[in-house]
Structure 1
Amino acid sequence: MTKPRSRRVPRVLVLADRRPDGLDEVAAHADLVCVPEARLAAELPAADALLVWEFGTEALPAAWPGGGGGPRWVHTASAGVDRLMFPALRDSDTLVTNSRGVFEQPIAEWVAGQVIALAKDFAGTYERQRGRVWQHRVTERVADTYAVVLGGGPIGRAVVRTLRALGLRVDLVGRSRRDGDPEVGTVHAFGEFGELLARADWVVCAAPLTAETEDLFDAAAFARMKRGARFVNVGRGPMVVEKDLLAALEHGRLAGAALDVFRQEPLPADSPLWDAPNLLVSPHMSADTVSWLDDLAAVFADNFARWRTGRPLRNVVDKKLGYVPVAAAEPSAPTAPEEGA
């Protein structure tokens, strides 16, 4: 009987100051090394795989090895991959995967919470409570209002399901039109967004940051929205021209907004957004629940088990599109390196 071919232990880097919990099974089958940003460039050439645990890092483009070297697989502990789409990685043969599956429902719940809070004026109630003011008011119903959700991926779909459960009428906008979608019915094409925008009571941005979506929500977009509409962003900060959003709030074009993402994070203390009328500033926490770090580690550990045994990886990013397509076929996974490779 032929003896199975021996394999060397793969070297897996974790971009983090300390090893995350939940990676014991990975460590049992890999040379698992945590590296801070300062050591990343020195360690990357010899790495077989990279876990970008500090997903807000800006260090990867400068540290990426030249000449076609570097890890054959990069996984990020985030849903968005815009920070990984620098030319050297995008144009390489390296597979990129994300942490799809962890964030969808928590973000959808956060969006639903903001819709209810804005409609019921919770902020006004808390403010009056602090001033010991008893002032009866009427608020709005959310049932039968109309929402448009931009982003046809799993986060946008979870938002649609959750808002529909509250009685809202909801349309979903993706990259291209799909009729008869088994989950949401019709997915509208990106080209239809402007028409839907003009009718919406609620506009929810849950799309990835791409060349098409950067600066999408500008003065023209806010002017197209119906007066008194509300805007919620759980996508990426650069999709919104913040000075234009501020003007729309100050002039009463929008009745309110909730932002979980910003162009600069943390939001500077001198940003005028802190004092914008009817705006909730959330510190990029809509997806972060008490178990989220364990859940992120579990996604990577599962993909690592697939990777080292040559099975297809989950959540493979289409690097040309900049996200994981909803109906994409899973490509073959790279296998762990063989002895002497």
Structure 2
Amino acid sequence: MSYQISIQKTQNPKNKPDQDNLGFGQIFTDHMFIMDYTEGKGWHDPRIVPYGPLSLEPSTMVFHYGQAVFEGLKAYKTEDGRILLFRPRKNMERINISNERVCIPKIDVDFAVEACKTLVSVDRDWIPEAEGTSLYIRPFIISTDPFLGVRPSWTYKFIIILSPVGAYYKEGINPVKIYVESEYVRAVKGGTGYAKTPGNYAASLIAQVKAKELGYTQVLWLDGVEKKYIEEVGTMNVFFKINGEVITPSLDGSILAGITRESTIELLRASGIKVTERKITIEEIYNAHEAGTLEEAFGTGTAAVISPIGELSWNGKVIKINDGKIGETASFVYNTITGIQSGKIEDKFGWTVEVK
């Protein structure tokens, strides 16, 4: 499929932010990508325009029925000035999985990657170069029919915005404390748990608020039926190292198939470390802790890459992990993936894509 992206440059470029105080998702670049979908016409009119407000009617369907999907990936500036994206095709393949689940027309994967590359190239001066920083890329699709009624929209907008970011967690790569949620659930098999759609995140907020009030950084989600099988940690996939074996919950329809998760599994297996994808209960984690065989726990995701877990709180029981310090496996994964992303380590997996 062939499209021509028109580019309208801003007449009022913004001042670049202080790279030491970027935060996450608070600052946005000069431009954004927009493409429209119309029933009977398909996706059309791809364009890069100055970043700014969208004009939508109050009756726009996305506000009322939540028919939307999104993705997240990053661009990195190497020491020799190259710009690298990390596995962008995987993100665009996954957005189509989400699209199918919520009845949004699929996008052309190759063109979507090209749109990301073109937008990043236009705003290349916004890519921060300080250690641990990157340019966050947020593609998303929203339903845009001005209509009140439950049905798939007939029109959509595919938009990409960019944000220079620092560390996702203020704790950085230091281990975080996690609250095991036993009341609320994130998703169930047959629902939208495997799709990256906003409603999943809205449903998770109440447990996150509760966890933070109790002094914890994030929530460990259990399954929605028996409330004993581990699913995700916050917005990340989760891994445990027990007696030398790395275990992560298997994908069964309620867990998002993370790209950093997939990369972690591939990396560890290529390094000769046993990785098992299976169901695992919170009780098994507690018993491993009691037996002294629980060596590490960490989350994986685009935003933070690796987030080591130093403590779990489950029904009044405290599970301390590796004396609250980052483990060797988490360190290895973090250093290798971020090294590949920044161009400091050779990419033997073919994960990175250069933006010209």
Provide TM-score, normalisation by structure 2.
0.24
Provide TM-score, normalisation by structure 1.
0.24
Q: Which has the higher contact order (CA 8 A, sep 6+)?
A: 2
> 1 or 2, which has the higher helix percentage?
1
> 1 or 2, which has the higher strand percentage?
2
